[in-house]
Every structure is written in C-alpha cells, then in structure tokens.
C-alpha cells in the first residue's frame, strides 16, 4: 500500500472511502468532520443525536454518501475521550478503520491527520502515527497460501490536509512512519515463518540482504570460529540440532568513529522444543517465534540505516535451534561461556539465556555501550505482565528510562521489573559458577539476573518480550500472529541517543 500526504478538500477527492473522526461526547462535529457532515446534509449530526454514533474508542460507523461528495463511503471513527488521545490511539483507530474498509472492498482511501486539529497532536507526529497505523493494521502473511485472498487490498491511503503550511512536516512524518512500519512488518514476516523456512542460515541470509540493500556491514560467525572464541554456551544449545548455528553481526556507522556503539542483542532461537527438557505439545508450533528478538534487532537496523541518525549501532544475533537428539545438551551438564564462567544446566528449556550469555560477552569484548537485549526469554514474564506489556530489567536507571520512553513513543508498553540482589541467590550452583534456572518463583527476574552475570558494569537493559511478541487476535494496530514488538522502540532509542 502506498501512503502519501496530499493537499486538498477531502470531500472533493475521487476516493473509494474517506475516514474522519469524532471524540466521545461531542454533539456537533467540527473541523474536517464538520465539513463532511455539512456536505452530507447533516447526517453525522443526526446519527449522533440518535445515539448511533457515540465517538467511543475504535467505534466504526459507515455512511454511504449517495453522491453528495466524491467518495462513495464515509467512515466515522471514534477517538474516545479527548483527554485520553495519544499517538497510540491514532495508530489503532487508523488500523481498525482501514481493516474495516478492506473488508468493504475499498481500494483508494483518504483520511485526515487524526488529532492534528482539536486534539492538539503535532501534525508531523499525527501523520507518522496514521501511516504506521495503516501499514501495520493491514499487514497480512500469506506467503504459503496458494488460494487468492477473498478481499482486495487497499492500494493507496492519502492523508489529506487543507492547510498547505503543514504539508512539509506531515510528509516528513509520513516518510518516517513508513520506514518504521515496514521494518516492523519485516520482523513480523520473519517470526511468522515456519521453522523450516526460518532456520539459523535463513536468518543470516535475511541479515545479509538487509545489509546489502541498506548499506550496512554484515558478518556471520560460523561454528568453527565460535569454537575458537570459546562460545561454549551457544554451542551447547546448538548440539541437539543438525542446523548449523550462526552468530550474526550487523553494523551501522553513522556517528564519530571514536564514539562507542549502541549494542542491540536479539535472541535467535529459530525453533525451541525445550530440548531434552521438552515442552508440552500444546502450542508448540508457536515456538517458531522464539527468534522474535533477533528479528526485531535485524529489522531495527534496517530502519536505522534508512533514517541515518548520527550514532554508531551494532547488532548481535546468536541463532540456533533447541532440539532433543542423541547429541543434545542434558540436564546436569556444565558449559563454559565465552567469558570463562561455567554454567550448570538445570533445564535445557532455559536455552535463550545461554545463547545470550555468549552474545553479551562478545558485545562486551567489542566494548559496545549501552547494551539492550531483546528476547522471548521467560514464560514467567508472560504470566506476570500478560500480552500487553514487555518487561524491562537492567543495571542503569538512566538507560532503562530512555528505553521505556522510546517504547511509549512507539505505543509499546514497557514495565520496569525489580533486580534485587536477593534474586541472585536462586541462580547459585553447587557445581559451577552459576546455574541456568533459578526455579519457579520470580523466573523472569532470575532469568534477567543470569544475563546480568555476563554484563558486569556495562550499562544494560534486558527486554523480555515473551508475552508481547505475538497476539492471538487482531487488536488496534496489531494483527494476529507475530507483532514485531520492540522494532520501533529500538529505533526510537537510537534516534534519541543520536540527538544527545
């Protein structure tokens, strides 16, 4: 779908449909909605008076124009209470309205920049949010379906603005929104792929293509070099699979060469059976998405390369499968990580922290700082925070707060979790330096404390996206399946650090 900002009167453009909006409790529509209401002979006001249109958040009402304006249909989208309006709601309303119009067969749609008038939202940010909402909300993954889709796709979304003085800033917002949303959809594509189409080698190929297409540097460390580097934790997980592990490095150099690089680390377990500590069969197919953190990091690097902030960024993705076999890692085994620490294996289903241990150790060797890792690490975080919020853990309050703010701007909720010293006790081993599971209680925190053992003093944030990496139904700008969570958060963080 093409999205662009145009100048003009939305009632006079030859479109399949137009989207206007209404706040909850408004009895007399104003602005662009008021202009459309007037052109339609007051039908919107009439429907408000009759109680059919209430303006509640994501409420969708379709009106046939009957030739009174150029567009055949008008969508009145509810924005909810005016005081609660934010960019995330604008994304969501746009997504819901676009999905509704796709079902109705619309191909060319016009919309206003929601909230940019009476809502008090900056016009550039509104245009970005509308663009993101449209592209994210209309995402589909049909690669492996041979049947033609029953509904046509929307080909064009026009953001229509009468005030020409706002056009240049709105076009900037639209361009940025397109970059952000398309990168997020790349991460969704990767995590939605079945594991036989997204092996560690396939992940490496995606990274190479992104690097080639967007002017990045890419290096893939193979198994033999991992052995020389002493990456015993990553190699231990990889032992159970016939697929060769890959350690992927992507670099963007936009800042002063003397400056340290922001490090982004993404867990890349392309299928997680649990290994010898095998998972229950229910929902096991969803474990193809255990590389969502790695996908998010690769996709974020693409957007960073397009936006060209003045900062250096390096991404690290340890990629492998976690499978049971005659050569697989066993409970009771001891591994030695790249930094020399020995790890007692309590459960082979706590494999993500093992591959991240070597990745974080390598990141420290490269002197990357600060570090942010993204991982579908623990079911415990999913239990604690549900599907709506990722967990943040770290050793540096300043960078934690920057990550949370970057998430708020992206409409991705992040909640800081505690990292009290007492939780380290649960990871103590009788036979090694540390064990890879602290047990049932506080599992998200003990998982983060395990990672902290490989960070030392480097400023670091761990994002646990176990609950937010996929959704079971369409919800606002999220579409059933992989969500692409953390892509836009990481990009926003890079842009904010570059501005500093």
Q: Which CATH code, of 3.40.220.10, 3.30.450.20, 3.30.590.10, 3.60.20.10, is assigned to 2-161?
A: 3.40.220.10
How far apart, in whole angstroms, are the C-alpha atoms of residue 451 and residue 337? 12
What is the pairing mode between strands 246-253 and 217-221? antiparallel
pLDDT at 150: 83
pLDDT at 461: 98
Active site residue 353: yes
pLDDT at 64: 97
Q: DSSP H helical segments within 8-66, as ranges?
A: 31-39, 43-49
Q: Is the pLDDT of residue 492 over 80?
A: yes
pLDDT at 117: 78
Q: Is the pLDDT of residue 151 over 90?
A: no
Which residue from 323, 358, 317 is spatially nearest to 340, judged by alpha carbons?
A: 358
Confidence of residue 119 (pLDDT cuts 50, 70, 90): confident
Please enumerate in sequence order all residues whose Cβ is within 8 A of that of 327, keeping only pairs 6 or more positions apart, or say none: 239, 240
Task: Give the chain's mean pLDDT.
Answer: 97
CA-angle at 157, arms to 299 and 114, nearest 5°: 90
pLDDT at 160: 97
| Contact criterion met (CB below 8 Å) for 315 and 298 | yes
Q: Is the pLDDT of residue 444 over 80?
A: yes
Q: Which CATH code, of 3.40.50.280, 3.60.70.12, 3.40.630.10, 3.10.20.30, is assigned to 182-499?
A: 3.40.630.10
Confidence of residue 234 (pLDDT cuts 50, 70, 90): very high
How far apart, in whole angstroms, are the C-alpha atoms of residue 268 and residue 316? 10
Confidence of residue 120 (pLDDT cuts 50, 70, 90): confident
| Contact criterion met (CB below 8 Å) for 106 and 154 | yes
pLDDT at 477: 97
The residue annotated as part of the active site, out of 56, 208, 279, 480, is 279
| Contact criterion met (CB below 8 Å) for 149 and 142 | yes
377-395 pLDDT tens trace: 999 999 999 999 999 999 9
pLDDT at 65: 96
The residue annotated as part of the active site, out of 102, 166, 353, 470, is 353
Two tokens at 296?
């998010």
For the chain, the structural domain boundaries read 2-161, 182-499
pLDDT at 298: 98
Two tokens at 99?
């999905």
3-state secondary structure of 19: strand
Q: Is the pLDDT of residue 118 over 80?
A: no
Active site residue 155: no
Q: Same fold for the domain at 2-161 and the one at 182-499? A: no
Average pLDDT, stretch 50-74? 96
* Percent of the chain topping pLDDT 90: 97
């Amino acid at each position: 779908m093409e999205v662009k900002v145009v100048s003009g009167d939305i009632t006079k453009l030859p479109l399949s449909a137009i989207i206007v909006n209404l706040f909850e409790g408004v009895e007399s529509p104003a602005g662009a909605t008021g202009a459309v209401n007037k052109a339609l002979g007051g039908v919107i006001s009439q429907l408000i008076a009759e109680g059919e249109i209430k303006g509640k958040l994501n409420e969708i009402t379709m009106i046939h124009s009957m030739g009174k304006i150029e567009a055949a249909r008008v969508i009145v989208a509810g924005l909810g209470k005016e005081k609660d309006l934010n960019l995330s709601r604008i994304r969501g309303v746009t997504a819901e309205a676009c999905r509704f119009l796709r079902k109705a067969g619309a191909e060319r749609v016009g919309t206003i920049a929601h909230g940019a008038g009476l809502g008090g939202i900056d016009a550039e940010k509104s245009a970005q949010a509308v663009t993101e909402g449209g592209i994210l909300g209309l995402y589909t993954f049909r690669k492996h379906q041979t049947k033609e889709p029953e509904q046509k796709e929307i080909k064009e979304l026009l953001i229509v603005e009468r005030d020409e003085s706002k056009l240049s800033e709105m076009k900037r917002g639209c361009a940025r929104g397109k970059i952000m949303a398309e990168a997020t959809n790349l991460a969704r594509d990767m995590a939605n792929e079945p594991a036989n189409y997204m092996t560690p080698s396939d992940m490496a190929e995606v990274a190479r293509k992104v690097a080639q297409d967007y002017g990045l540097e890419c290096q893939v460390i193979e198994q033999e070099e991992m052995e020389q580097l002493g990456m015993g934790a990553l190699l231990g997980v990889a032992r159970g699979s016939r697929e060769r592990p890959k350690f992927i490095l992507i670099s963007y150099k936009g800042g002063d060469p003397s400056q340290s690089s922001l490090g982004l680390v993404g867990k890349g377990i392309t299928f997680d059976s649990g290994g010898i500590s095998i998972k229950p069969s229910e929902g096991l197919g969803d474990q193809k998405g255990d590389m969502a953190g790695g996908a998010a990091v690769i996709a974020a690097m693409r957007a960073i390369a397009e936006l060209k902030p003045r900062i250096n960024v390096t991404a690290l993705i340890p990629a492998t499968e976690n499978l049971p076999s005659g050569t697989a890692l066993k409970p009771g085994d001891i591994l030695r990580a790249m930094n020399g620490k020995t790890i007692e294996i309590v459960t082979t289903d706590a494999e993500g922290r093992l591959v991240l241990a070597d990745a974080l150790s390598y990141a420290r060797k490269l002197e990357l700082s600060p570090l942010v890792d993204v991982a579908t690490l623990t079911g415990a975080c999913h239990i604690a925070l549900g599907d709506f919020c990722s967990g943040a853990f770290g050793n540096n309050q300043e960078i934690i707060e920057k990550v949370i703010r970057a998430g708020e701007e992206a409409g991705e909720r992040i909640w800081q979790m505690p990292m009290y010293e007492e939780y380290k006790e649960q990871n103590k081993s009788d036979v090694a330096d540390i064990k890879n599971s602290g047990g049932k209680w506080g599992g998200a925190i003990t998982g983060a404390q395990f990672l902290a053992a490989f960070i030392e003093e480097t400023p670091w944030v761990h994002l646990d996206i176990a609950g937010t990496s996929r959704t079971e139904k369409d919800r606002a700008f999220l579409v059933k399946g992989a969500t692409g969570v953390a892509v836009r958060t990481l990009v926003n963080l890079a842009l904010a650090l570059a501005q500093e």
